[in-house]
Amino acid sequence: MKDNTTIIANAKKTIIAESEAIANLANFIDSNFVNAVKYIHNFKGRVIITGVGKSANIATKIVATFNSTGTPAVFMHAADAIHGDLGNVLDDDVVLCISKSGNTPEIKVLIPLIKNYGNKIIAITGNVDSYLGKNADFTLNTYVEKEACPNNLAPTTSTTAQLVMGDALAVCLLELKGFTSKDFAKYHPGGALGKRLYLRVSDLIVNNELPKVAKNDTIAKVIIEMSEKRLGVTAVVEGDKVLGIITDGDIRRMLSKTTKIDDFVAEDIMSKNPKTIHKDAMAIDALDALENSSITQILAVDDSNKYAGVVHLHDLIKEGIF
């Protein structure tokens, strides 16, 4: 029990220490940050992001964030840079260099080479008075009083601060670019996130049957149609126009009152003017419609209210949207 208490206390202490350090970063946002954002926004090249050790790991994540939010970025390990990878740096590129101390040997070798190429340097460092801090064109301060590590050695708080500063840059840049959810979808076509942004109703209904009956069709025919198409629902149509909808719930409610199904036709038990969604609407909008109305199926139509198909909740679950 004592061990459990100690573990919980250490975890909380780590989280609190890092959160306080991150909050303090707001005090370091100044004209250097503003000018760095404006420079990246206005130039035509890429952001080459470099570092060594744990800072290199943070650099790869910032690269991914930049690329996914419309700012082209490339990772270059600081150690590899001086052994051939400097060829990654083109004339129009800006180099974002990440280092807690700003005085590592790799950085001291790399900075003069980049400056000789004429490329601008943005520093993310915890020591603005370091070699990196003094030689960068824009220096972003990520100073932390101490690491969360009890020995004040393992990069913990400092790397979190670097990561957050990178996120701040990325968010400011996407705001300046007017980066929208449609832009985001271009870079995230895979997975549930991408599907929420690009998948449409028409992409879902193409895989489903098209259950439909006429208003004067018998209940027996309605049941057969629903059973064969296996969507738990059928549209009631006149030509191609939607008149109503019959669900398996409607069938059950009718049978709970009478078993004389020959006395009824589709029109007698259908729900008139059912909720519909346009076939070109986003799939996520179909999910909202289902949730808001507490239903599991919705009919899709085109501009002229022509019946186009059925979206079932299971379709959205299958695609990972629900």
How many other CB atoms are there within 10 angstroms of residue 123's CB atom? 29
Binding-site residue numbers are 77
Binding-site residue numbers for Zn(2+) are 77
Q: What are the distances in angstroms from CA 287 to CA 127, 291, 322? A: 50, 6, 7
Taking the C-alpha atoms of residue 7 and residue 40, their distance in angstroms, rounded to an integer, is 43
E-strand ranges in 46-101 read 47-51, 73-77, 94-99
Indicate the Cα dihedral angle 59, 64, 67, 70, nearest 10°. Answer: -100
Q: What residues pair up with 244 in beta bridges, in sequence order?
A: 236, 272
Contacts of 86 (CB under 8 A, 6+ apart): 76, 113, 114, 117
Written as one letter, the residue type at 76 is M
What DSSP string describes 280-321? TSBHHHHHHHHHHHT-SEEEEE-TT-BEEEEEEHHHHHHTT-
Q: What residues pair up with 238 in beta bridges, in sequence order?
A: 241
